[in-house]
Structure 1
Amino acid sequence: MRRYSFPARQAHRGEFSDEEFAVLFIIEHPDMDKTIRLSSHPTHDLSFDPPMWATYSTWRTANPTVDPFVYLPMETNLPSDQEDAPASGNIIVVNSTPQIAKLLRSVIDQATLHFAMVRAASPDLIEMQMSDLLVIDHDITAGEVTIEFSREPTEFEMDPEGVMTKERFPGMHR
């Protein structure tokens, strides 16, 4: 069971609540010069010309004013914390510039994604987070870009893990 702060529980249970949540994303890849830091909520004005918004949070950064989470209008499906459900989700953004598709097509290896859910009023308080997810697929259409992410697939795990010694597998050594 996931634990949330008391204000988050009140906002979630409230029928008409003015509490808003933001999802912060960090996408890293060795071929990229800088990590991509995205926010699902326009918390603060970043610039007026062109108009840009950002969320300032100390999550995974030493100086939030230097490395803000830039707001990008998006839809997201976050992974569930249930044991029988896979830890996978997606981000859907409007395909507004050709740079998004160009960046996604230029990466061959899988990128790493981290996300945190915070309250917009207090973005330093992390309500939920998942780290080291892999960007496993992307779909680019004329109108939107969908980025799929998940945990490392179980096919890549060693089976069985370790060496088949007498101590670990006593039934095989009789």
Structure 2
Amino acid sequence: MSRIISLNARLAHDAVASSEVEVVLIQFTHPETEQIVRLSTDPTERISYAPLAYGTRSNWLGADPNDDEQAFRFVLISVQLPDDEEAAPPAAQFVLDAVDASMAEVLLSTTQRAEVSIAVVLASSPNVVEQEWHGFKLINVEGDGGQITLSITRDPVTAEPWPAGRMTRERFPGLHP
């Protein structure tokens, strides 16, 4: 299955050098709270002056680009995008730099797993999604010094039942005359 990407993204990928910046947007939601955490890997624009905050405005997943509270906030974060290994479910990791102890406490204080969605956009066109992944769960949080490593994964496709149902006369009478 081929993936459709924008012309700007294709030109940036094919160019020897490009001014286009790929931005990873990450959204965390949790069943125990209504708060949505939106993070960005690029300080695309200034979101607020007091406190000083940078981020990316995008309408991805219903965020309002005109609302400062719904902007994807820039944080120093390294991202390993979901892999495509055959023998394992997709997995990814984020490493947040220069975090304080209160952030680690929040990440470790819940009993249910947070839902995670990831998208790749260009800084010049943050509303055009080049790639996206949904349905991930935060499964591990490790921290030391000024870094926190977040690991996410989702259920493997092989865990889904197959065959899902047999097309028998009792279950699907319309198929059998």
Distance in 1, matches of 2:63 and 2:107, equals 27
**Aligned AA for 1:117?**
V
Q: Is the 8 A contact 1:23 1:40 kept in 2?
A: yes
Aligned residues: 167
Match of 2:78 among 56, 75, 79: 75
In the other structure, the counterpart of 1:133 is 136
Distance in 2, matches of 1:123 and 1:62, equals 12
Instruction: Point out 4+ residue stretches in structure 1 off by more than 6 angstroms.
Output: 165-168
Match of 1:101 among 82, 99, 104: 104
**Aligned AA for 1:99?**
S
Query: What per-residue deviation string (whole Å, max 9, x for no partner) do you get for residues 101-141 of structure 1?
Result: 01111021111001110000010001011111111111111
How high is the TM-score relative to the length of structure 2?
Answer: 0.82
How high is the TM-score relative to the length of structure 1?
Answer: 0.83
In the other structure, the counterpart of 2:16 is 15
Identical positions, percent: 31
Q: Does 1:91 align with 2:94?
A: yes
Structure 1's 116 and 141: CA in aligned 2 closer, same or farther, altered over 3 A?
A: same
Structure 1's 15 and 97: CA in aligned 2 closer, same or farther, altered over 3 A?
A: same
Distance in 2, matches of 1:129 and 1:22, equals 12
Structure 1: which 5+ runs fail to align? 169-174
Match of 2:146 among 143, 148, 160: 143
**Coordinate RMSD, CA, aligned:** 2.6
